[in-house]
């Protein structure tokens, strides 16, 4: 129960971080401000939840709502010029103005760079092995790279095709609740199946030993994570279970698969709205969020591997169900 207590302590800390009232001396429509406290909170939530199977996107949507960063009011630059999320074009003459919500959505994706750095440092040995495999010096590393590519491609294709729809229609508390509950059910099913497979001696000890079909299966499972609240980490760990990986190796494979997924998402967001987001929130708070996310993600990664090896997924599934119940009561009852 200690893990559930810790996670709810994190949620309570976010809930208590209520936004400050608006500054009456600040012109309406001026560039929004992200406080140092907000940047630290968002970095902590991103780092802690990115690799735990509880949905970082869901927790960050809740956090930005709590911090008052989900306004849809159009923003202007300090000299009064409109800021654009998408510039006016022939197809869309009106364009799409940048809002605090869109800027915050971009911020919470871009600070994932911190989580990427944590995994690169912690799993440099596996990354080096894959690089050597490319040059024919490490057969195991080459197989691991093959499996990562197979697990990455499905979610990359579907994510690019559906990204606009997801951003417009699925970033809400309601979709997070659905994702939390659906993911919990899937976790309970996977945990029961894993225990049967382990008893039958069918577990795979190394992700490099999976075949292409198993790796593609994990990739298809990852597509479920595009629904906010589901959790990319959770579905890849569950996919690893179904492929026969041990809990610890499922988590490690999830971390490695997350590198191209997170990097791709951060790159797309950076190209689309990075400059405008920097003008809204400032470089210092973006770098602070990345740094906090890196440190907290490193701690979370080490914790998760040890915890899954001992306890499995059930405690996280219970936490998700309780959190979904609380959210439904607070926002819909």
pLDDT tens-place string over residues 61-86 = 889 888 888 888 888 777 778 888 77
- How does pLDDT run across 194-232, given as a tens digit for each residue? 777 655 556 787 999 999 999 999 999 999 988 888 999
Rounded to an integer, what distance in angstroms lies between the CA atom of residue 289 and that of residue 84?
23
- How does pLDDT run across 240-273, given as a tens digit for each residue? 999 989 889 999 999 999 999 888 888 888 887 7
Domain membership of residue 25 (yes or no) is: no
- How does pLDDT run across 156-208, given as a tens digit for each residue? 899 888 877 887 778 788 898 999 999 999 999 998 887 776 555 567 879 99
74-83 long-range CB contacts below 8 Å, 24 or more apart? 74/29, 74/98, 74/99, 75/29, 75/30, 75/31, 75/32, 75/99, 75/100, 75/103, 75/280, 76/29, 76/30, 76/31, 77/31, 77/279, 78/30, 78/31, 83/31, 83/276, 83/279, 83/280
Phi/psi for 76 (5° steps) reads -125, 160
- How does pLDDT run across 272-286, given as a tens digit for each residue? 777 877 877 888 888
Phi/psi for 82 (5° steps) reads -65, 145
Higher pLDDT, 15 or 225: 225
Domain membership of residue 175 (yes or no) is: yes
Domain membership of residue 236 (yes or no) is: yes
Which of the residue ranges 96-110, 171-185, 292-306 would you say has the lowest mean pLDDT? 96-110
Domain membership of residue 35 (yes or no) is: yes
What pLDDT is stored for residue 20 in this prediction?
39
What pLDDT is stored for residue 171 in this prediction?
78
Q: How many domains does the chain have?
A: 1
Q: What's the pLDDT band for 60 if we cut at 50, 70, 90? A: confident
What residues make up the domain containing 78?
2-19+31-332
Domain membership of residue 26 (yes or no) is: no
**pLDDT value at 19 more than 50:** no
Domain membership of residue 122 (yes or no) is: yes
Question: Global pTM?
Answer: 0.81
Instruction: Tell me the mean pLDDT in the region 23-39.
Output: 58
Domain membership of residue 65 (yes or no) is: yes
**pLDDT value at 16 more than 50:** no
Instruction: Tell me the mean pLDDT in the region 23-42.
Output: 63
- String of b and e for 167-202 (b: at least 16 CB within 10 Å)? beebbebebbbbbbbbbbebbeebbeebeebeeeee
Domain membership of residue 24 (yes or no) is: no
């Amino acid at each position: 129960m200690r893990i559930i207590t810790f996670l709810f302590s994190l949620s309570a800390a976010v809930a208590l971080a209520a936004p400050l009232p608006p500054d009456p001396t600040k012109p309406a429509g001026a560039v929004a401000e992200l406080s140092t406290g907000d940047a630290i909170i968002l970095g902590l939530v991103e780092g802690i939840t990115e690799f735990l199977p509880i949905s970082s996107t869901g927790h960050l949507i809740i956090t930005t709502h709590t911090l008052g960063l989900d306004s849809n009011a159009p923003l202007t630059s300090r000299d009064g010029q409109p800021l654009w999320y998408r510039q006016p074009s022939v197809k869309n003459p009106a364009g799409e103005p940048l809002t605090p919500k869109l800027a915050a959505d971009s911020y919470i994706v871009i600070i994932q760079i911190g989580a990427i750095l944590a995994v690169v440092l912690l799993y440099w040995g596996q990354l080096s092995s894959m690089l050597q495999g490319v040059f024919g010096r490490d057969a195991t590393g080459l197989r691991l790279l093959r499996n990562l590519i197979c697990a990455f491609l499905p979610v990359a294709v579907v994510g690019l095709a559906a990204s606009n729809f997801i951003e417009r229609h699925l970033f809400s508390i309601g979709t997070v609740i659905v994702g939390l509950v659906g993911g919990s059910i899937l976790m309970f099913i996977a945990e029961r199946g894993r225990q049967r497979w382990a008893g039958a001696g069918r577990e795979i000890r190394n992700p490099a030993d999976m075949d292409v079909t198993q790796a593609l299966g994990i990739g298809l499972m990852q597509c479920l994570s595009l629904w906010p609240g589901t959790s990319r980490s959770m579905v890849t760990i569950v996919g690893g279970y179904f492929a026969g990986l041990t809990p610890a190796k499922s988590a490690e494979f999830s971390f490695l698969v997350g590198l191209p997924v997170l990097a791709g998402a951060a790159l797309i967001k950076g190209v689309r709205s990075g400059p405008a987001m920097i003008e809204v929130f400032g470089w210092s708070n973006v770098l602070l969020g990345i740094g906090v996310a890196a440190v907290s993600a490193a701690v979370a990664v080490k914790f998760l591997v040890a915890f899954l090896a001992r306890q499995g997924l059930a405690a996280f599934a219970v936490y998700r169900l309780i959190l979904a119940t609380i959210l439904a009561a607070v926002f819909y009852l």
